[in-house]
Structure 1
């Protein structure tokens, strides 16, 4: 599975929006995900013309969740 593939994987269909950033079921961070997909087809432009994307994660606990790329804290972006 390629995180940058333009076609979304089937598991993203059941993804729920996670706020705060992390698995809403087990609270694992994105680094623990068994699969990741970035929705590059629909970027959103925010103030200062910056863009953000939907990031989809399939957690080890089998929860599919998504969050905006701008929701990651600076410590999670490394």
Structure 2
């Protein structure tokens, strides 16, 4: 009797982990508030949130340091 399974798996394929460039694009788009719905869905479908979390923390820390440096340069020039 045929069980209906002809060797094909009916399970969903596991999403592959995103590349570095895709993560950077998503972080920058999210920071500026211009993330497309398609990209957001792709991001949430990825296998792990950790690359996005780490990249977001690094981006935020870098942004804060950049702002501090700009303010120090402006205050030193006046």
**Same fold at TM > 0.5:** no
Q: Which has the larger radius of gyration?
A: 2
Kindly indicate which of the two structures has a greater share of residues assigned to helix.
Answer: 2
Q: TM-score, normalised by structure 1?
A: 0.25
Q: TM-score, normalised by structure 2?
A: 0.25
